[in-house]
């Protein structure tokens, strides 16, 4: 390619003299882009605009009807500041009679506090203009599209803080050519898409979040695919338009094939804003005929990504796995180089696998790992404690790949043993579906926030309701027989993840391990239940049903035995009310007995409160186990 080079002699003086008959021009240090367009460039030329410091700003410009590729280069991207001009970048009436014109505007940040229009696209004849990978911030109409005689392509743009992120109003139905609005992130605007009168738009792989109105259309046609429209005051406002929505996450729901209504679990941390966190229901649930960068099924939303973002709560034992690593097959990878990619690194940290001694530890004060090497595998589960308050985010390594969904373990999983397992399917499933043919051999499953155990008694622990396997999480599984060639099963139906409610009235610290107490026949006016050990709260639950499971984090397992005690909070008493009596189910006899629960003597227990001190609550003592209809027996389909 022949090149003409534009170099800066003084801040506002540009000269050229390198080669003639060129088609690429370079603009540096705030020089006039308009001067190059007006005096130098012709149809088909490229103009490369380079970033510079400290201001990195260029004035707006008009394509003057020329078919040009104008590209920003450098990091951070060059800024086009429209200042007080009405239009920052004008792409009106572009026509190249000698070629199939494809003018392009790419890789700029476009601002203009007083500007009416960021990029104007109208009266384009016989060409397909492309607006790609730009940030447009704080303009009345970020992108304005009028009547054109071919499609407009808008890809990979970030549109924020505008009155209208995309404004289209036409008089002739765009001559039958739909515009493509694909893979854009649109947030914090008054309107995301505004399609007024005869607009015809296809919207693939976009995310609309925190706008006053995500999408408005009037007498227009819109086809939405593999997109997220969530967290806006109004999601879709349809005034006599025609909308088709498929394989998309729409808050409050929308009729169409493959649509869901779930929290997309966005990451909001730089530089991964609006990426999907591990466990997002939008991962691998977009259009099944399209793929992401890693060859897996398309995600919903704006990022074609091959990166996982793991969320970890600070000062909490997070049960994690590493399904995406830079390795072959299921080979082991050294953990410290993975963990020091936390976005807010460094901080003290511990990683635990099957109570290994020593655990992997990072000490921030000495910037040291102990041991210096500690290998992890995608198929295994771990417990991770970032010993720093707040939210922490861990992106996967560059070049990392997922463990294949159909991966089979090569090692036998021994019976009656705690198997620390990772869950590597990138969608959420109920435990029965995820274990598939191996379910009949499952004795128990421990998760970070729930516990399952096979039992002849119908309790919260023996129920499978709301017990789901989540991508990137760890589980401790006990089988009743040796399991060979284990694999997770894809039942082709994703399950909504239910979050465990946080206690308002009881505070406690979690530990790497817990034991479980099922409380049966809870009176209706009980709001919360707390479990205490020597006057210290060790677990609590927000009551949502007549029977609840409490995870109890006892620190006295190996010390002097201390019985558990209980407190309740009711609608009429918002302080803890001690429970003076409770009964414990003898699982061998099926009879409730008046005795104390001692920490560490059982993995799971079933109790029922006796007479409560609150006079509003009188619970009869029940001598025999009662089956409760709201907890169906997973082993008897007739119940």
Query: Rg of the chain over CA atoms, in angstroms?
Result: 30
Beta bridge partners of 137: 111, 160
What H or E segment, with its residue span, contains residue 33?
helix 33-39
The answer, yes or no, to whether the previous bond of 516 is cis (omega within 30 of 0) is: no
Residue 54 lies in a domain: no
CA gap 236, 190 in Å, rounded: 13
- Counting Cα atoms < 13 Å in the Cβ hemisphere of 608 gives 21
397 shares its domain with 508: no
Residue 91 lies in a domain: no
User: How far is CA 581 from each of CA 263, 538, 618, 621, rounded to the nearest angstrom?
Assistant: 41, 19, 12, 10
Query: Taking Cα atoms as reference points, which of 32, 37, 88 lies closest to residue 66?
Result: 37
DSSP conformation class of 437: G
> Residue 559: what pLDDT?
64
Q: Give residue 522's Cα distance to chain centre.
A: 35
511 shares its domain with 632: yes
For the stretch 182-204, pLDDT in tens is 999 999 999 999 998 888 899 99
Query: Taking Cα atoms as reference points, which of 353, 351, 331, 338 lies closest to residue 394?
Result: 338
CA gap 286, 296 in Å, rounded: 10
> Residue 612: what pLDDT?
60
Query: Taking Cα atoms as reference points, which of 449, 419, 445 lies closest to residue 313?
Result: 449
394 shares its domain with 517: no
510 shares its domain with 628: yes
512 shares its domain with 634: yes
Residue 473 lies in a domain: no
What pTM was estimated for this model as a whole?
Answer: 0.88
CA gap 71, 78 in Å, rounded: 9
Domain boundary among 347, 379, 402: 402
Query: Taking Cα atoms as reference points, which of 193, 395, 448, 398 lies closest to residue 276?
Result: 395
> Residue 261: what pLDDT?
97
For 348-364, give the DSSP string: -EEEESTT-SSPEEEET
Domain boundary among 402, 428, 455: 402
Residue 627: give the domain boundaries.
Answer: 503-639
> Residue 127: what pLDDT?
74
The residues of the chain scoring below 50 in pLDDT are: 1-3, 6-22, 174, 614-639
CA gap 437, 430 in Å, rounded: 14
Domain boundary among 402, 427, 445: 402
397 shares its domain with 507: no
Number of folded domains that form the chain: 2
Residue 608 lies in a domain: yes
Residue 372 lies in a domain: yes
Query: Taking Cα atoms as reference points, which of 106, 107, 98 lies closest to residue 42?
Result: 98
634 shares its domain with 516: yes
Residue 545 lies in a domain: yes
Residue 137 lies in a domain: no
Residue 626 lies in a domain: yes
């Amino acid at each position: 390619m022949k090149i003409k080079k534009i170099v800066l002699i003084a801040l506002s003086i540009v000269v050229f003299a390198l080669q003639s008959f060129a088609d690429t021009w370079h603009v540096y240090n705030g020089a006039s882009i308009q001067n190059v367009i007006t005096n130098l460039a012709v149809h088909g030329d490229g103009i490369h605009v380079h970033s510079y410091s400290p201001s990195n700003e260029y004035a707006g410009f008009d394509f003057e009807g020329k078919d040009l590729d104008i590209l920003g280069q450098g990091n951070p991207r060059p800024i086009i500041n429209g200042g007080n001009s009405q239009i920052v970048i004008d792409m009106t009436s572009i026509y190249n009679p000698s070629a199939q014109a494809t003018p392009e505007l790419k890789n700029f940040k476009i601002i203009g506090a007083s500007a009416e229009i960021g990029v104007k696209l109208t009266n384009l004849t016989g060409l397909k203009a492309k607006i790609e990978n730009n940030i447009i911030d704080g303009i009345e109409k970020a992108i304005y599209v009028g009547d054109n005689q071919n499609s407009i392509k808008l890809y990979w743009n970030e549109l924020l803080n505008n009155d209208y992120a995309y404004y289209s109003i036409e008089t002739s139905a765009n001559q039958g050519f739909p515009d493509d609005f694909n893979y854009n992130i649109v947030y914090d605007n008054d309107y995301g898409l505004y399609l007024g009168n005869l607009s015809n738009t296809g919207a693939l792989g976009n995310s609309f979040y925190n706008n006053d109105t995500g999408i408005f259309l009037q007498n227009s046609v819109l086809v939405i695919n593999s997109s997220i429209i969530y967290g806006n005051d109004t999601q879709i406002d349809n005034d006599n338009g025609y909308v088709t929505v498929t394989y998309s996450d729409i808050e409050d729901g929308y009729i169409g094939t493959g649509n869901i209504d779930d929290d997309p679990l966005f990451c909001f941390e730089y530089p991964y804003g609006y990426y999907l966190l591990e466990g997002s229901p939008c991962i691998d649930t977009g259009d099944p005929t399209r793929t992401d960068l890693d060859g897996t099924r398309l995600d919903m939303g704006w990022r074609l990504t091959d990166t996982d973002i793991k969320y970890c709560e600070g000062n909490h034992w997070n049960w994690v796995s590493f399904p995406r690593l830079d390795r072959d097959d299921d080979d082991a990878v050294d953990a410290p180089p993975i963990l020091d990619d936390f976005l807010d690194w460094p901080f003290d940290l511990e990683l635990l696998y099957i109570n290994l001694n020593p655990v992997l530890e990072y000490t921030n004060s000495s910037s040291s790992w102990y041991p210096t090497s500690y290998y992890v595998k995608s198929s295994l589960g771990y417990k991770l404690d970032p010993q720093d308050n707040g939210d922490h985010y861990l992106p996967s390594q560059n070049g990392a790949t997922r463990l294949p969904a159909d991966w089979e373990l090569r090692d036998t999983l021994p019976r009656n043993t705690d198997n620390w397992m990772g869950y590597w399917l990138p969608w959420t499933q109920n435990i029965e579906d995820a274990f598939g043919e191996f379910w009949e051999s499952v004795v128990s499953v421990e998760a970070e926030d729930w516990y399952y155990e096979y039992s002849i008694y119908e309790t919260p622990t023996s129920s499978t309701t709301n017990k789901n396997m989540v991508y990137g999480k760890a589980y401790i599984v006990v089988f009743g027989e040796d399991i060979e060639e284990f694999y997770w099963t894809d039942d082709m139906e994703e399950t909504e993840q239910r979050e465990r409610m946080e206690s308002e009235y009881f505070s406690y610290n979690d530990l790497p391990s817990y034991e479980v107490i099922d409380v049966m026949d809870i009176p209706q006016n009980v709001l919360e239940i707390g479990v205490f050990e020597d006057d210290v709260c060790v677990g609590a639950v927000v009551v949502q049903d007549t029977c609840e499971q409490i995870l109890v984090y006892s620190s006295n397992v190996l010390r002097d035995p201390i019985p558990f005690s209980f407190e309740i909070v009711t609608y009429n008493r918002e302080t803890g009310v001690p429970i003076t009596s409770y009964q414990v189910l003898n699982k061998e006899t099926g009879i409730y007995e008046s005795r104390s629960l001692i920490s560490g003597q059982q993995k799971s227990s079933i109790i029922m409160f006796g007479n409560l001190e609150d006079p509003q609550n009188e619970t009869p003592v029940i001598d025999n186990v009662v089956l409760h209809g709201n907890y169906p027996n997973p082993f008897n389909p007739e119940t």
